[in-house]
Structure 1
Amino acid sequence: MARRPHNAPPTRDTGPRINDKIRAPEIRLIGADGENVGVVSPSRALDMAVEAGLDLVEISPNAVPPVCKIMDFGKYKYETQKREAEARKNQKIIEIKEIK
Structure 2
Amino acid sequence: MKEVKFRPATDENDFQTKIRAVRRFLEGGDKAKITLRYRGREMAHQEFGVDLMDRVKTELGDIAQVEQNPKLEGRQMIMVLGPKRKK
Q: TM-score, normalised by structure 1?
A: 0.28
Larger radius of gyration between Structure 1 and Structure 2: 1
Structure whose residues are more often helix by fraction: 2
Give TM-score scaled by structure 2 length. Answer: 0.31
Which structure has more RCO (C-alpha within 8 Å, separation ≥ 6)?
2
